[in-house]
Structure 1
Amino acid sequence: MLLSIKTNLFFQVKASFDGEWVCPGEDGTALYENSGYGRPDGNRLKLFPEEALYLAGKGKLTVDKLDFDALAMKFSEKPGFMRRFLVYRDIRERGLVIQTGPQDFRVFRRGEKPGKGRSQYLIRVLSERDFVDFEAIAADSHSAANMRKQFVVAVVDDENEITYYEIKTNDLPKGESCDEIKKVKGRLTGNSVFVMPREGKNFLPEGAMFGTWFDENRLVLSPLETLYLLDKGLLEIEGGKEEEFRERLEEEDPELLFKMNVYESLRDSCYIPRTAYKFGHHFRVYNERSSHSAMLVHAIPGGSGMPMSRVSRSVRLAHSVRKKMLFACVKQKNIEYIEFARIKL
């Protein structure tokens, strides 16, 4: 099959099609040199399907007996092609040079192109109905960071609109809310522990934000706060009912173990985690004794994930209340904090 390629200079180049789009000769390489299309291969230029279809749609590439619709149908035999094409077209229309990359695409800095600049973003394309594998996303983010690139997930919804999310997996910096805590005594009541008022005021500093005041005489610890203080040897429950308390919680809460791992990690890093039930997540997290929490954190057991639609709702909610959205992927005692943030390229 022969291809006839027309550039902005209105000259045509013919090339054979052998499973990849190929444009041979000096005229073909002008597409690469002028606008960053394709990849040189000796004296030829390979155009990948997304590039070829984009050029065809712009009237810069014609293929004998195949118009734009026919080309789109042919390329769409490969799963996910149209989603990738929509992202490719959107980024090209923004005036940026984009090429296939180690994920789906790499995008160059504005005004730069292959051979005369370096790429800024690595992009993975997903559908709104895809299931997000957090371990895989974290691996992509680490790979991008090692290459000094920003990792971006481009999500194409069912109406072909695109949302871009920057993904970061940096370790949380040390917080500034560490207070010395002295050992206290408490009384088990259901799944809560009442701390004696004198001890509650004197030994659980207000800045550490442990518990809530049930009334003027009783400070109530949540289950996770209770477990944390027990594990640190900072709480004694009257009657020695610690094991009974733990067993009951584990039976009632299937998420308890990995939530507890994240809670302990945040506390040990001098952050203050509190329940984020009203936001639909596990923790709202405070730092620097602020009255406004800085992050929402949702604990995820290693090897699991969630639908992209749920991730999207979480990010939008966090943005609306001026918080960062982090997913804490727990693998044994190792915790990977993965931040999703909407961006505009």
Structure 2
Amino acid sequence: MKARLESGHVMLGQDGLTLYDQSGFGRPLKEGVRLSPVEALYLVYRGRIEVPGFDFDSLLVHFSGDIHVLRSFLVYRDIRERGYVVQTGPQDFRIFRRGEKPGKGESLYMLRVLSERDLIDFAVVRKEVQATINMRKRHVLAVVDDEFELTYYEVKIQKPAPIEDTQNPEPVCGILSSRSVIIPAAPESVYDQAFYGKRFDDDRIVLSTIESVSLMEQGFVTVNHEGRNITAQEYREMIREFDTEMEPKLKVYQNLRSLNYIPKTGYKFGHHFRVYLGRKVHSEMLVQAIEPNTTLPMNIISRSVRMAHSVKKKMLFGCIHAEGIAYVEFARIKL
């Protein structure tokens, strides 16, 4: 089937309608069918159309003014050869359910193509995922690494539901050792029941700095230091000096606690928190606090997802914004 180049696209005559009707290639117009660059490249690659004066290699060079064309072609080819019909837009691609196509079915995924080095702007991701949700689709990232291997991630905005209330701790007085708050005389304490702190010994509980700040601000803990009770703000400023991530961590911690989830340090897993849903033995999520206007390279996110999956947990990023905190989950999937 013969085609012609026209204004950055490839045009087929009326005979191109067969490709559209059978397999969803291109967009039908009055004068024929218009193919996007990746559709044209794929059809030339498979020998289904001819563009006079071009083979696949020269056509690829022709379209290389778009620096993403090779990456997009690799993703397009992979999805097509998995048995899906795929069209461009409204993000990079929309993918139809297997066996369905334009006019005779609906799309299942909205897909964005990235490289492993692309920066992920969490504000942009939240906006795109929400747009996908509003269209009742699933949001997918196709990441092309430096050796042109593909990995697919589904991205969701999770809305954690509150769970059964845990018992609030009783007001207690703690002592300050360096920056750590220790609660003495705490055998069988309600702090154990509410999952605050860690047992130092049979008589004492030591709180993490984030737990201490939060409990002091709620009035559950007072801390005596050098003969006087220090304020929550004084302690907060003391901690901020050596923990530059304290403020975003505290916001996410307090939000999770308001849902009656139990966040504990996620240091062993390389993240801010491991999170328990109630009194379960194992944590179910890893959560990283993300400040407004934060960007992370996709390869960093990939490491986070790999770690979470290896220990059978969900990987969530707690994105702080003007309206509150949005929990964005990244998970590897197989299309």
- TM-score grouping bracket, smaller chain normalisation: over 0.9
Q: Which runs of 4+ in 1 moved over 3 A?
A: 13-16, 200-203
Given that residues 267 and 273 in structure 1 are in contact (C-alpha distance below 8 angstroms), is that contact kept between their aligned partners in structure 2?
yes
CA distance in 2, matches of 1:117, 1:146: 18
Aligned counterpart, 2:190: 203
Identity %: 48
After TM superposition, the structure 1 stretch with the greater mean CA deviation from structure 2, 161-170 or 231-240, is 231-240
Residue deviations 1:104-124, cap 9 Å, x none? 000000100000000000000
Matching of residue 281 in structure 1 with residue 268 in structure 2 = no
Q: Tell me how far 1:191 sits from its aligned partner.
A: 1.1
1:293 deviates by 0.2
Q: What is the Cα deviation at residue 202 of structure 1?
A: 3.4
Post-superposition Cα deviations, 1:189-227, rounded to whole Å, max 9, x if no partner, equal 1111111223x63332x3421001112221101110011
1:304 equivalent to 2:291? Answer: no
Matched, 1:235 2:221: yes
From 212, 221, 224, the equivalent of 2:207 is: 221
> Aligned equivalents of 2:46 and 2:3: distance in 1?
18
Q: For residues 266 and 92 of structure 1, what CA distance do their matches in structure 2 show?
A: 41
CA RMSD of aligned residues (A): 1.4
- Please tell me whether the aligned partners of residues 20 and 47 of structure 1 are also in contact (alpha carbons under 8 angstroms): yes
Whole-Å Cα distance in 2 between the matches of residues 207 and 294 of structure 1? 19
**Structure 1 residues 16 and 307, CA gap change in structure 2 (3 angstroms):** closer
- Do 2:3 and 2:49's aligned partners in 1 also have CA atoms closer than 8 Å? no
Specify the SS of the correspondent of 1:123. strand
Aligned residue among 116, 123, 127 for 1:135: 123
Change (3 A) 1:282 1:151: same
Deviation for aligned residue 1:308: 0.8
2:13 pairs with 1:24: yes
CA contact (8 A) 1:212 1:219 kept: yes
Alignment of 1:73-152 (within 5 A): 73-152=61-140
Paired residues of 2:3 and 2:10 also in contact (CA < 8 A): no
- Alignment-mate amino acid for residue 188 of structure 2: K
Q: CA deviation at 1:181?
A: 2.4
Aligned-partner Cα distance in 1 for 2:108–2:96 = 5
Cα pair 1:123 1:153 within 8 Å, conserved: yes
Q: With structure 2 as the length reference, what TM-score do the two structures score? A: 0.95
Whole-angstrom CA distance in 2 between matches of 1:28 and 1:278: 57
Distance apart, 1:331 and its partner CA: 2.1
From 51, 72, 79, give the equivalent of 1:63.
51
Give, as a single letter, the amino acid of the residue that structure 1 aligns with 2:248.
F
Residues in 1 aligned to 2:238 and 2:140: alpha-carbon distance in whole angstroms: 42
In structure 2, the residue corresponding to 1:197 is in which secondary structure?
coil
Deviations 1:140-197 (A, max 9, x none): 1100000000000110001111000000013112133522322121111111111122
User: For residue 263 of structure 2, what is the amino acid of its counterpart?
Assistant: P
8 Å CA contact 2:97, 2:107 repeated in 1: yes
In structure 1, runs of 5+ residues without a counterpart are 6-12
- Following the alignment from structure 1 to structure 2, what is the Cα–Cα distance between the partners of residues 83 and 190? 53
Q: 1:177 to 1:321 in 2, by over 3 A?
A: farther
Q: 1:160 to 1:99 in 2, by over 3 A?
A: same
Alpha-carbon distance between aligned partners in 1 of 2:165 and 2:287, rounded to the nearest angstrom = 17
CA contact (8 A) 2:3 2:11 kept: no
Q: Does the CA contact (< 8 Å) of 2:166 and 2:194 recur in 1?
A: yes
Of the structure 1 ranges 37-46 and 98-107, higher mean CA displacement relative to structure 2 is found in 37-46
Q: Which amino acid aligns with 2:138?
A: Q
CA distance in 1, matches of 2:266, 2:3: 61
| Paired residue type of 1:203 | V
Deviation at residue 334 of structure 1 after TM alignment:
1.2
- In structure 1, the partner of 2:235 is 245
Cα displacement (A) at 1:15: 4.4
1:9 counterpart residue number: none
1:180 maps to 168
CA distance in 1 between counterparts of 2:253 and 2:7 reads 56
Q: Distance in 2 between the 1:327 and 1:211 partners? A: 23
Aligned equivalents of 2:323 and 2:55: distance in 1? 56
- SS class of match (1:210): coil
Aligned residue pair count = 331
